[in-house]
Amino acid sequence: MAHRLALEAEADLDDIWYFIASGSGNPELADRFIDSLTERFLLLARHPHVGRRRDEDLAPGLRSFPVGRYVILYSVESGRDVLIVRVIPGERDIPAIVRG
């Protein structure tokens, strides 16, 4: 029951941190939000099937889990290990982003 981040998810976290820190002028606020996302990653690692299945509308094996205005996209690998694929603002065109 572990989790790991895809390169795209790591880049998403950097973008989220910068957006919050620059928009609020408060880097500590950005740190706290990234910490809350990390807590959700740990939750998903413990309970990998809690997220909504997105097989039909996004991609086979993909699941989603909302956190505030963001959506964590992830897959369950090797039984119960979780790969965090992306962390995307919910108002964006998620199908277009996933399909590239």
- CA dihedral sign of residues 20, 9, 59, 66: negative
Residue 98's pLDDT is 85
Q: With left for phi above 0 and alpha for psi between -120 and 50, is residue 47 left, alpha or beta?
A: beta
* pLDDT digit string, tens, across residues 29-87: 999 999 999 999 999 999 999 999 999 899 999 999 999 999 999 999 976 799 999 99
> CATH for 3-99, among 3.30.2310.20, 3.40.640.10, 3.40.50.10860, 1.10.357.10?
3.30.2310.20
Q: Is the pTM above the cut of 0.75?
A: yes
